[in-house]
Every structure is written in structure tokens, then in C-alpha cells.
């Protein structure tokens, strides 16, 4: 950051500054915050913002990953390396443990996914650790329900979001008052778009998991989307795996995250493809949002990210 | 710019672009959703799946037109009832600027939502239906924009196609709004004749209104000068967080982190830490990317001080010769957002910059009729009402008049029983 003749921040630096402000407010006003990390690009940006907010000290909160067991191996490898570099504390909550404990029942069949089950694992982990604020990398441009969610998103003691009872958010004054058992999800990059995230990754020189770049992978086509051929997904009769050059726009479970055909092997290439795209990231690659018109809202009400 | 000038309205290799936040308010009838849809669509920000969704849903509902309101109205209850519940945020970008639109509904919870959207806005877009003229709602929009001191106001006279693109209609409305707004403090007002439905003067210049010499709306949004809107005169740095690594490497490091709320800070500046009043110097301004030579609003930075003074969250670092007022009693305009009315004698939690305290309502001096701007005596302030109150605060708050600084002049009131944010306050003065 350098000071120009005119004291006006570029839009990326203005967004960055807003996010740092939000993170420091949370650190100051909550007893036990946690940063939710998925290994995806948005939470990679959150880690950099936390460095900007708190260095040279350590983060005043641990990092938590909800591992469905169906994650891309490249992402898990990246996660462990990145957290080690940062020297911060990582908590991993496993959906498998929730299944083993009988808290949730595994879906079966070719369309089975653990995506929905992770809500319970997350809520249990928040409660067990006594976390009262959880940072997430959600953005308002992702989805219609998210467009109306606050930066400080209040959750009741069942982890539920009530879109009609949100607190007004004025100026840069955030109301973090809660009762015991309740918590707040905090979204510091609410006002960023997908392109902002990629531009930030580029200017900051951040590493992202290799699956964000074009690579050859065996995939199969279902409902017009390309999915990774993996042991976690049963194929339906006519589905035949084939190999093609793809990259991922979002990082979720292998079972519900689609790939896009791409030849972009560099950050610049990815940014150029995204700038030229005509489909939103969740529309293109997330089966979990296609279930109903209000799929995201319904999951959020239950306590999803 | 022409809509096809850049790929998808973005430019891949931008130098630096600025951020402009603007608020729009009103109902579907004004053509507000059509206008936003038009801005997003003509600047290529609506993507294929979003447009498909809107077209399909419009057909299913039997709207008879492509209802752009469906782009922003995403909640189940909204689609079922055909209403907008809340402030929706939309984003678009041109080569010059990134825009954040706070889109607020015109009916239910009107004032509450508009005030929320307006609190962070650099600019407000108010729509007037050219056939109907200035309505009660127009006056409320303009009043709230002035109360919240949004630096720039753009009045779009919409549906010009339905009045034959008549210059006289436009001139009459400009006169009417200007005449009424003369009673308010409005810093910058611009009028643009448009047709959101047909796209006249939205992104592209209209060929039907050659009498209009000004720019289309998007051009104005891209070029309106926002840099001088921040207060660069009075240094205000509310301390948010103390950075103390306590590691071997950074054993003696102590930094005071926060977001600059006013003025320009430089290493070497003589400062005072309030409310304590200890004087010291800024020894360095740190960021993750290294030390910097100056910090200005709204940068988030970490200050190091020359002396070992006691500084904690809630303190404010200012230039020694230009401090804010440390006040126990403040006069403020309050917009009420709570279900239970504000009453004299009631107690609330108050949050002002990074400082929290308790406040008691000493007096409700008057209520403001947002249609007539008359001050009327009142016993209480109900939901969506605005009034002047006098508050006594449990510990001094370091305030400036809201007219001087939107950050150090604003506060929120919180109901301690429900934890809800119930009031938005703007400091007028200290008692």
C-alpha cells in the first residue's frame, strides 16, 4: 500500500480495510471466536486478512475445518501445509465422527452427499468448543439469500438463521451482543465479488489448491455438470467416466462440486476466464443449490455456513 | 461507455478502480427494480443463469414482464408475497469503479431500511415517476438522504417515455424538488431524465432527449468526485485492538490497531490519547505490508507510539491541537428501529466508534414529521420515527457533530433485554 497524491483507496484496498476492521471487532468483542476454513479461495483470503489484522502477533482464534471425508485430497494437503506455514492452531471436525456417533445418518444412492450432514458436525463443534463467533468466507454476490444476510449474522441457540429478524447494520458499527448458547457468523468479505477474490489472490500472490487450475481429470456428466469420478460417487447406468481438462470454481465436496472445462493454468488465465463468464459460480458448479429455488436459504436457516 | 466496451463489464487489467457505495429506495412502481436491472444488464453483470431464473419465475408468477425485482428478492417469503423484506446488496463493476448498491424496499420498515442503506452510502439515487410528480415518498427519500448526509444526491425523473420525453415536465419537477429541498442541507444534487424501461440515459445517452445536456446515470456514477467527502482535516483514530505478540522476536512490540476515521496521520505527529489526555508521538504506522508514510480514512493500520502510554480499546488517538469533545451529555437525531418505542427515562446500551457504554434518555425534544419537516412535541418515538433526543452516557464518549464526521458523529442504541439494535443516532451537539 502506498499513499498517492489523492487520499483515496483503490476498491480492493477499501474492501480489505473493511474486512480487517470486521475481524478486529470480532476479536475484541467476543470471548471465543473461530475461523472456518474450507481450503477454498474465499477462506484462503480470510487467512491473509487475519494476517493483515493481527500480525506480528498470532491469530486471537483457532482455525477450524469441517471435513466431510469426501474432500479433494489436493485440498487437504494444501490445508495442512498452509496452516503449518502460518504457525496457527487447526481444529478438524469430521462428519465421519458424527455418523459414527449416530448424530447423522449417511445418505445412500448415487446422489448421496455429505454436504448437508456437515451442518450438524459444525453446530456440534461450535457448541463443544464454546465458540461464540465463527468467521466464514461467504459473499453476498454468491446467492440470493446471501445478498440479504448481515456481516454479523445472528444465530439462535439452535444455530438457526431467521432472515426476518436480522439486526439493522449501520455505518461500521456492529452489534455483537448475544446470550449464552447463541452465536454469530461473521462474513468479513460479504461485499467482495468472485472477481474481487481472484484479483486479491493475484495481487497478494496467494497460493490456492491445484484444483483451481486446469488439469486433466476423469469426470462424468450428470444434469449438465461435470463431476469428479471418485470412490465417493456411485455412477448411474449410462454414466461413463472420461478424461478432460477442467478446473474448479468452488471447493466443496467431491460429491456435489462440479468442474468447468478450462485450459487456464495460471492465475491470470483464471481471472480472464471468470471475467468473461456468463454463468455464476454457484449456478455453474454447485448441485446443492439446484435442489429448489430457496435451497440455500433453507440450509442457512438450519445452520449451514 | 458503451456496454460492450469491456468483457462482462469488468476489465481484467485495471490499474486501480475506486469503490462507490450508493443507495436506492422506493417501490416497484417507481421503476427502481427496472433501473437496477437495467444498470446490471446493460453493464453485463447479470449472468445467464440469473437471467434465466428471473425470466422463468416471472412467467410462472404471471407477471407479464421480466420482473427484475426477482433478482434481488431471494427469500422464500419475499417471492411468495411479492414483497421485499430487507436491504439487498448488489454489485457491479465498470473499468472505472466498483459499485455496491444498497437496495431498500419502499413499504414495510421503510425508514429503518433506508437509513441502514444510507448510513454507508456515498450517493443516493431517488426516482420520481414523471407522470406522478413529487410524492410523499420522494420527500422522505430526499429528507433521509440529507439527514444521513449522503454527500451526493441524484434525482432520476423516470418514465420520461410516458410523457413524450417532454423537457417542460422535467424542468417543472426539477424546480419543485429544488424548491422543497432548499429547506434541507443537501451538498450536491443532480437531476437526470431517464426511461429505465427503455434504457434512456441509464447507461447510454438517450437519442430522444437532445435537450438534456448532462451525462447518463452510469457516467455520473463513474465520475462523481468522492475523494473529498471524507474529513481529512481532523485526525481521529479510534483504537480497536492492541497488538502485543509477546514472542521472543517481537518482545517489546506494542501496536494500536484501528481504522482511520478522520484526518491524515504521519509518523512524527504529536498526538494525544483520549480520554486520558497523555501526549506522545506516532513513531511508526505499520501494516502487514510494511511501514507506511501516511494513513487516511478508511485505512486499517497499526500505530506505534514513542512513549509507553497506557492505551486500550475505546481510546481515541487525535492530534493534540484538535481533539473531539469528551461528552457525557449528547444531543442527537435518532431514527428509531425498535418495536418498543423510545421513551424519556429509558436506558440502552450505546456503541460509538469502538467504545461501548450505557445511555439514558434524558429528554425527547421533538419528533420530526418527515413529510412536512415540522418539529412536533412527542412522548415517545415509535418504530420508523425520527426525533431529537438528549442522552446522558455512563462514561464520556469522544464525539464530533455528525455533520463534521460521519464515523465519530454516529452511534447505535441497543436494547439490553433483547440485544436488538433499536436506534441509529447522529450527534448534533453536546450539552
User: Is B115's CB within 8 Å of A170's CB?
Assistant: yes
Query: Which of A74-83, A287-296, B50-59, B361-370 shows the lowest per-residue confidence on average (mean pLDDT)?
Result: A287-296
Q: Residue B246 sits in a domain of what CATH number?
A: 2.40.30.10
* Separation CA B342–CA B366 (nearest Å): 12
Q: Is residue B40 part of a domain?
A: yes
pLDDT band at A282 (very low <50, low <70, confident <90, very high): low
Q: Are residues B72 and B193 in the same domain?
A: yes
Domain holding B220, by residue range, is 7-229
Same domain, residue pair B131 and B22: yes
Show which of B172, B197, B229 is a domain's final residue.
B229
* E runs forming strands in A27-127: 33-36, 63-67, 90-94
Distance (Å) from the alpha carbon of B80 to chain A's nearest alpha carbon? 11
- Residue B65 and residue B184 in one domain: yes
Over 50: is that where the pLDDT of B4 sits?
no
pLDDT interval class at A287 (50, 70, 90) = low
Q: Are strands A258-261 and B123-129 parallel, antiparallel or unpaired?
A: unpaired
- Is the predicted pLDDT of residue B152 greater than 60, yes or no? yes
Q: Among B213, B229, B245, give the residue marking a domain's end.
A: B229
Residue pLDDT, tens place only, A1-53: 444 446 788 999 999 999 999 999 999 999 999 999 999 999 999 999 999 99
Question: Are residues B336 and B404 located together in one domain of the fold?
Answer: yes
Whether the ω angle into residue B298 lies within 30 degrees of 0, i.e. cis, is yes
H or E stretch including B119?
helix B110-119
Residue of higher predicted confidence among B391 and B231 = B391
Contact B293, B251 (CB under 8 A): no
- Selecting from A18, A173, A275 the residue whose C-beta is nearest the C-beta of B351 gives A173
Question: Residue B295 pLDDT > 60, yes or no?
Answer: yes
Nearest-CB residue to B7 (from A9, A178, A276): A276
- Per the DSSP assignment, residues forming a β-bridge with A245 are A216
pLDDT of B82 reads 59
Domains recognised in chain A with CATH numbers: 11-192+294-302 (3.40.50.620), 197-289 (no CATH)
User: CB within 8 A of B98, min separation 6: which ones?
Assistant: A11, A193, A196, B17, B18, B19, B20, B91, B92
Same domain, yes or no, for B80 and B109?
Answer: yes
Q: Which residues contact A125 (CB under 8 A, 6 or more apart)?
A: A64, A66, A91, A93, A131
The three cell numbers locating residue A28: 475484541
* Residues in chain A within 8 Å Cβ distance of B243: 54-57
Give Dmax over CA atoms of chain B in angstroms.
76
Provide mean pLDDT across the span B82-110: 79
Is residue B1 in a domain?
Answer: no
**How confident is the model over A115-134, as pLDDT tens digits?**
788 888 999 999 999 999 99
User: Is 60 exceeded by the pLDDT of residue B89?
Assistant: yes
Lowest mean pLDDT: which of A190-194, B156-160, B235-239, B371-375?
Answer: B371-375
pLDDT in tens, B331-370: 999 999 999 999 999 999 999 999 999 999 999 999 998 8
Residue B2 placed within a domain: no
Residues B148 and B190 both lie in one domain: yes
Note whether B217 and B242 are same-domain residues.
Answer: no
Over residues B207-235, mean pLDDT:
92
**Residue B36 falls inside a structural domain:** yes
- A178 to chain B, any CB pair closer than 8 A? The answer is yes
HSE on the CB side for B284, CA within 13 Å?
9
Contact A26, B317 (CB under 8 A): no
Nearest by Cα to B184 from B337, B371, B32: B371
Contact B8 A277 (CB under 8 A): yes
B374-402 residue pLDDT tens: 999 999 999 999 999 999 999 999 999 99
Task: Tell me how far apart the alpha carbons of residues B259 and B262 are, in angstroms, rounded to a whole number.
Answer: 9
From chain A residues 215-234, the ones with a CB under 8 A of any chain B CB are: none
Q: What is the pLDDT of residue A278?
A: 63
Predicted model pTM: 0.91
Could you report the per-residue pLDDT of A196-228, keeping only the tens digit for each? 999 999 999 999 999 999 999 999 988 888 888
Domain final position from B278, B301, B319: B319
| pLDDT at site B8 | 36
Q: Is A266 in the B-facing interface, judged by CB distances under 8 Å? A: no
Is residue B306 domain-shared with residue B331, that is, in the same domain? Answer: no
Cα-based torsion angle of the residue sequence B24, B28, B34, B35 in order, rounded to the nearest 10 degrees: -20
Q: What share of chain A is helix, strand, coil (3-state, %, to 5)?
A: 35, 15, 45
Instruction: Examine residue B193 and state whether it is found in any structural domain, yes or no.
Output: yes
Closest to A305 measured CA to CA, from A46, A10, A16: A46
Who among A7, A27, A275 is closest to B232 (CB)? A7
Query: What is residue B31's predicted lDDT score, i.e. its pLDDT?
Result: 79
Residues B13 and B86 in one domain: yes
Q: For chain A, give the mean pLDDT.
A: 88
- For residue B107, the model assigns a pLDDT of 63
Q: Locate cell 430522444: which residue?
A: B208
Cell 454414466, residue located: A239
Judge contact between A235 and A246, C-beta under 8 A: no
pLDDT at A280 over 80: no
Mean pLDDT of B404-425: 97
Domain count, chain B: 3
Averaged over B125-130, what is the pLDDT?
93
What is the rounded distance in angstroms from the CA atom of residue B361 to the CA atom of residue B342? Answer: 8
Q: At a CB cut-off of 8 Å and minimum separation 6, what does B422 contact?
A: B336, B337, B338, B340, B342, B348, B413, B414, B415
Main-chain dihedrals φ then ψ at residue A201, nearest 5 degrees: -60, -40
Instruction: Examine the domain organization and report whether B136 and B159 are in the same domain.
Output: yes
Model pLDDT for residues A179-194, shown as the tens digit of each residue: 999 999 999 999 999 8
**To which residue does cell 444498497 refer?**
B102
Q: Is A57 on the interface with B (CB under 8 A)?
A: yes
Task: Look at B22 and A302; give whichever has higher pLDDT.
Answer: B22
> How many Å is the Cα radius of gyration of chain A?
19
Residues B241 and B355 in one domain: no
Could you tell me if residue B225 is inside a domain?
yes
Instruction: Identify whether B158 is part of a domain.
Output: yes
Chain-centroid distance of CA B113 in Å reads: 11
> Residue B117 is part of a domain; what is its CATH number?
3.40.50.300
**Residue A1 near chain B (CB below 8 Å):** yes
Reported as a pLDDT band with limits 50, 70 and 90, residue B135 is confident
| Strand arrangement of the beta sheet that strand A63-67 belongs to | A90-94, A63-67, A33-36, A133-135, A183-186, A152-155
B212 and B293 inside one domain:
no
**Structure confidence by residue, pLDDT tens digits, A141-153:** 887 778 888 999 9
Amino acid at each position: 500500500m502506498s499513499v498517492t497524491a489523492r487520499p483515496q483507496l483503490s476498491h480492493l484496498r477499501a474492501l480489505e480495510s473493511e474486512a480487517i476492521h470486521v475481524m478486529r471487532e470480532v476479536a475484541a468483542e467476543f470471548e471465543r471466536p473461530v475461523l472456518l476454513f474450507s481450503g477454498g479461495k474465499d477462506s484462503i483470503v480470510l487467512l491473509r486478512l487475519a494476517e493483515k489484522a493481527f500480525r506480528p502477533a498470532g491469530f486471537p482464534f483457532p482455525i477450524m475445518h469441517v471435513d466431510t471425508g469426501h474432500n479433494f485430497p489436493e485440498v487437504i494437503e494444501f490445508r495442512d501445509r498452509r496452516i503449518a506455514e502460518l504457525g496457527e492452531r487447526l481444529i478438524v471436525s469430521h462428519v465421519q465422527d458424527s455418523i459414527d456417533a449416530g448424530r447423522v445418518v449417511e445418505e445412500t444412492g448415487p446422489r448421496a452427499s455429505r454436504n448437508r450432514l456437515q451442518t450438524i458436525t459444525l453446530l456440534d463443534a461450535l457448541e463443544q468448543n464454546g465458540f461464540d463467533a465463527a468467521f466464514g468466507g461467504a459473499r453476498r454476490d454468491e446467492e440470493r439469500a446471501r445478498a440479504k444476510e448481515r456481516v454479523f449474522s445472528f444465530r439462535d441457540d439452535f444455530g438457526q438463521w431467521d432472515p426476518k429478524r436480522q439486526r439493522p447494520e449501520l455505518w461500521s458499527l456492529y452489534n455483537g451482543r448475544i446470550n449464552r448458547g447463541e452465536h454469530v457468523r461473521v462474513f468479513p468479505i460479504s461485499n467482495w465479488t468472485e472477481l474481487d477474490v481472484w484479483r486479491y489472490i493475484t495481487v497478494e500472490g496467494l497460493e490456492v489448491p491445484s484444483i483451481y487450475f486446469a488439469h486433466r481429470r476423469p469426470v462424468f456428466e450428470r444434469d449438465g455438470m461435470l463431476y469428479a469420478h471418485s470412490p465417493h460417487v456411485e455412477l448411474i447406468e449410462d454414466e461413463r467416466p472420461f478424461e478432460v481438462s477442467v478446473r474448479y470454481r468452488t471447493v466443496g465436496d467431491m460429491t456435489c462440486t462440479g468442474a468447468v472445462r478450462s485450459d487456464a493454468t495460471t492465475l491470470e488465465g483464471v481471472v480472464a476466464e471468470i471475467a468473461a463468464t456468463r454463468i455464476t459460480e454457484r449456478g455453474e458448479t454447485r448441485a446443492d443449490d439446484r435442489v429448489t429455488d430457496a435451497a440455500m436459504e433453507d440450509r442457512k436457516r438450519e445452520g449451514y455456513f | 461507455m458503451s456496454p460492450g466496451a469491456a468483457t462482462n463489464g469488468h476489465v481484467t487489467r485495471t490499474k486501480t478502480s475506486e469503490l462507490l457505495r450508493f443507495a436506492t429506495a422506493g417501490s416497484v412502481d417507481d421503476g427502481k427494480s427496472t433501473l437496477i436491472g437495467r444498470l446490471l444488464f446493460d453493464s453485463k453483470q447479470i449472468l445467464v443463469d440469473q437471467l434465466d431464473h428471473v425470466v422463468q419465475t416471472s412467467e410462472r408468477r404471471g407477471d407479464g414482464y421480466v420482473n427484475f425485482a426477482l433478482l434481488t428478492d431471494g427469500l422464500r417469503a419475499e417471492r411468495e408475497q411479492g414483497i421485499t423484506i430487507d436491504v439487498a446488496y448488489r454489485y457491479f463493476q465498470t473499468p472505472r469503479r466498483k459499485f455496491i448498491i444498497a437496495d431498500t424496499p419502499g413499504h414495510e420498515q421503510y425508514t429503518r431500511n433506508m437509513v441502514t442503506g444510507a448510513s454507508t452510502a456515498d450517493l443516493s439515487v431517488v426516482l420520481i415517476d414523471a407522470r406522478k410528480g413529487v410524492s410523499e415518498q420522494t420527500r422522505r427519500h430526499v429528507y433521509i438522504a440529507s439527514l444521513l448526509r449522503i454527500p451526493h444526491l441524484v434525482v432520476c425523473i423516470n418514465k420520461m417515455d410516458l410523457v413524450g420525453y417532454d423537457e417542460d415536465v422535467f424542468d417543472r419537477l426539477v424546480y419543485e424538488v429544488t424548491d422543497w429541498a432548499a429547506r434541507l442541507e443537501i451538498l450536491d444534487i443532480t437531476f437526470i431524465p431517464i426511461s429505465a424501461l427503455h434504457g434512456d440515459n441509464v447507461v447510454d445517452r438517450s437519442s430522444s432527449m437532445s435537450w438534456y445536456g448532462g451525462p447518463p446515470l452510469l457516467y455520473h456514477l463513474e465520475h462523481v468526485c468522492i475523494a473529498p467527502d471524507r474529513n481529512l482535516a481532523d485526525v481521529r483514530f479510534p483504537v480497536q485492538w492492541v497488538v502485543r505478540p509477546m514472542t521472543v522476536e517481537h518482545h517489546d512490540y506494542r501496536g494500536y490497531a484501528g481504522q482511520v476515521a478522520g484526518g491524515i496521520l504521519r509518523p512524527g505527529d504529536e498526538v494525544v490519547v483520549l480520554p486520558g489526555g497523555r501526549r506522545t508521538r506516532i513513531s511508526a504506522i505499520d501494516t502487514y505490508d510494511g511501514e507506511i508514510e501516511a494513513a487516511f480514512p478508511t485505512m486499517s493500520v497499526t500505530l506505534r507510539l514513542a512513549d509507553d502510554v497506557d492505551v486500550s480499546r475505546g481510546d481515541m488517538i487525535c492530534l493534540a491541537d484538535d481533539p473531539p469533545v469528551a461528552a457525557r451529555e449528547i444531543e442527537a437525531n435518532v431514527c428509531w428501529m425498535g418495536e418498543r418505542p423510545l421513551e424519556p427515562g429509558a436506558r440502552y446500551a450505546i456503541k460509538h466508534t469502538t467504545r461501548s457504554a450505557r445511555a439514558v434518555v434524558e429528554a425527547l425534544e421533538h419528533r420530526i414529521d418527515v413529510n412536512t419537516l415540522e418539529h412536533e412535541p412527542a412522548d415517545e418515538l415509535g418504530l420508523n420515527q425520527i426525533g431529537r433526543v438528549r442522552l446522558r452516557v455512563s462514561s464520556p464518549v469522544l464525539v464530533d457533530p455528525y455533520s463534521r464526521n460521519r464515523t465519530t458523529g454516529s452511534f447505535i442504541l441497543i436494547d439490553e433485554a433483547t440485544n436488538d439494535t433499536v436506534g441509529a443516532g447522529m450527534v448534533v451537539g453536546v450539552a
